[in-house]
Amino acid sequence: MHNSGRLPVQSNSNSRPIKRHHTAREIVHRVRDSLTTRVSKLVCAIFLAFLLVVGLITFVLWVSLRPHRPRFHIHEFSVPEATYNPRMSFNVTIRNPNVNIGIYYDSMNGTVYYKDTKFGWKQLLLPFYQKPKNTTVVADELSGSALTVDGQRWTELKNELRVAGMVLLRLEITSNIRFKISTWQTKRHHAHATCDVSVGTNGVLLPTYIDRRCPVYFT
């Protein structure tokens, strides 16, 4: 073949990349960007730590200052056999489970039901204040004018007691309450405790119901 006389161009595999020299302005710009990024990260870290501390403090305060409802327990309930003088007696305790929160109670009322028929109603306690971690005993009875049921309904209850050997009743206790946190008081809440009770042939509360906790709800 005819050679044109040109020498082939050979690539130099050992050639080094050309170093780029940064200007002073570029160096200053890079340093400035690096400092800005670090400062931004530091500010974000401090802000997140602050939010964490505030959230933790808020949670602790919420747990320690969140009011717990009073706890009602039925201990005694009886329906004596004497039919000439109908009466019902009971013993209930009210516990304030809060450590630093007191409870104000307006006048407290008690109502007894048999088959959703109101047997009697009575004011149990006048307005009072219950200190934290304190228990109040409510021992009372419904008799005379406090028993609003007629004689026929009362006879029905006694007959069921003799035939079935037990009878189911319901004691409801209501009151408007306010929680006292330091010098601050909450708004009024209508507390409603429902105590299901069952008495045997002797008219005394059955063992399975003794010391039973009564559900409480607010309206």
Half-sphere exposure of 130 (CA within 13 A, CB side): 28
Residue identified by tokens 């934290």 is 132
Q: From 112, 32, 26, 17, select the one nearest 74 (Cα to Cα).
A: 112
Same domain, 142 and 35: no
* Confidence at residue 12, expressed as pLDDT on a 0 to 100 scale: 54
Model pLDDT, residue 179 = 94
Give the pLDDT confidence of 192-208 residue by residue, as tens digits: 999 999 999 999 999 99
Number of domains in the chain: 2
Asked if residue 50 and residue 117 are part of one domain, the reply reads no
In a domain, 16, yes or no: no
Secondary-structure percent of the chain, ordered helix, strand, coil, rounded to 5: 30, 40, 30
Instruction: Report the range of poorest mean pLDDT among 2-16, 36-50, 102-116.
Output: 2-16
Could you say which of 32, 48, 66 is where a domain stops? Answer: 66
Is residue 95 located within the same domain as residue 129? yes
- Beta-bridge partner residues of 43: none
Which residue type, as a one-letter code, is found at position 161? L
The reported pLDDT for the residue numbered 80 is: 81
Upper half-sphere CA count for residue 215 (Cβ side, 13 Å):
4
In angstroms, the first-to-last Cα distance of the chain is 109
For 116-170, the pLDDT digits (tens) are 889 999 999 999 999 999 999 999 999 888 888 877 888 888 889 889 999 999 9
Question: Does one domain contain both 33 and 79?
Answer: no
Q: What is the pLDDT of residue 29?
A: 61
Full residue range of the structural domain in which residue 47 is found:
24-66
Q: What is the DSSP secondary-structure string of 35-99? A: HHHHHHHHHHHHHHHHHHHHHHHHHHHHHHHSPPPPEEEEEEEE--S-SSS-EEEEEEEEE---S
80 & 28 share domain: no
pLDDT in tens, 95-106: 999 988 999 999
The predicted pLDDT at position 40 comes to 76
Q: For position 158, what pLDDT does the model report?
A: 86
**The pLDDT of residue 19 is above 70:** no
Residue 84 lies in a domain: yes
Is residue 30 domain-shared with residue 125, that is, in the same domain? no
Evaluate if residue 175 carries a pLDDT over 90.
yes
pLDDT of residue 37: 76
**Residue-wise pLDDT tens digits, 41-89:** 777 888 888 888 777 665 555 555 678 999 999 999 999 875 557 889 9
